[in-house]
Amino acid sequence: MSALAGHDWWHVIDLPDGTSTPGGWDLRPTAERIPWPDLRGARCLDVGTADGFWAFELELERRGAAEVVASDRPSPFQSRARRRFELARELRGSSVRYEECDVFEIAGSYDVVFMGYVLQMVRDPIGALESIRQACTGHLLLLDTVSLPLEAIPAPLARLDARHDGREWFVFNRRGLRRAVELAGWRVMAQTGVLPDVAGPAPQAQHASRSWKYRLGVRGRACALRASV
């Protein structure tokens, strides 16, 4: 579709005409592994939406959410991502509403909050989880990077400066991610094993710089969990 050209899509997002956006990451297989709660009639929030994959996933008829809000903090990256979000929303005929908001400033009341690959981007991950808890009346769905080297150690751990460039702060092992959620006052109801990231169909030049993450096992694996207040 010509409307998709000229955009550096982050996610693969399905469109009604049977095509999809040429994103660098394909999270559709991951979506089938998420421990979803019953979303029928729920008011949902997607934190750190980028170009909107999880917000649109929450909106799917088979999931049954009544209302979906997509949020992200203002930044040069997100201003570009928001243009992609708005285009995908238009092409999908979506009713998802976008709000510009930092994770530490979330307001309102939501039955279900989805937070994907956000904790690794904040200096205070436990504080971010506490902030979300103030706005959530039901379930948190958390998807984040896990470190395979740290997985070999039978203790809850986090690694600082995961990418060595100051753009990502912490990466946990699965035990550490669970413990961080519990320290923020949540009850963990379900947790997955290690989930492999899947590259999307973006041109090689677009995501070649991301391929090192697979080799190092830093960003190439993730874990999902469901917690409740």
Q: How confident is the model at residue 98 (pLDDT cuts 50, 70, 90)?
A: very high
Triad 172, 178, 179: Cα angle to 5°? 90
Token code pair at residue 170: 């912490």
- Using only the alpha carbons of the chain, give its radius of gyration: 17
- Are 76 and 98 a contacting pair, CB within 8 Å? no
Q: How confident is the model at residue 204 (pLDDT cuts 50, 70, 90)?
A: very low
Res 209 pLDDT > 90? no
Closest by Cα among 50, 43, 11, 46 to 30: 11
89 and 152, same domain (yes or no): no
108 and 163, same domain (yes or no): no
41 and 111, same domain (yes or no): yes
Tell me the backbone φ, ψ of residue 95, rounded to 5 degrees.
-105, 10
Q: What's residue 220's pLDDT?
A: 58
pLDDT digits (tens, 9 = 90+) for 154-172: 999 999 876 666 677 899 9
Q: What's residue 61's pLDDT?
A: 83
Res 211 pLDDT > 80? no
28 and 111, same domain (yes or no): yes
Residue 65 counted as domain residue: yes
Domain of residue 59 covers 23-115
3-state secondary structure of 217: coil
Cα 126 to Cα 53, 131, 144, 156, 191: the distances in Å are: 24, 9, 13, 14, 18
Q: What's residue 166's pLDDT?
A: 64
Closest by Cα among 148, 147, 175 to 162: 147
Q: Choose the final residue of a domain: 94, 115, 136.
A: 115
pTM: 0.90
Specify the CATH number for the domain of residue 31. Answer: 3.40.50.150
Beta strands in the chain (DSSP E): 43-47, 67-72, 97-100, 110-116, 136-145, 158-160, 170-172, 187-191, 195-196, 221-228
Q: What's residue 99's pLDDT?
A: 95
Q: What's residue 217's pLDDT?
A: 36
Res 34 pLDDT > 80? yes
Total domains present in the chain: 2
27 and 98, same domain (yes or no): yes
Q: What's residue 172's pLDDT?
A: 95
- Are 119 and 142 a contacting pair, CB within 8 Å? yes
The overall average pLDDT reported for the chain is: 88
User: Rounded distance, CA 73 to CA 99, Å?
Assistant: 9
110 and 161, same domain (yes or no): no
Residue 38 counted as domain residue: yes
Q: What's residue 92's pLDDT?
A: 95
In this structure, of 65-69, 114-118, 211-215, 220-224, the range with the lowest mean pLDDT score is 211-215
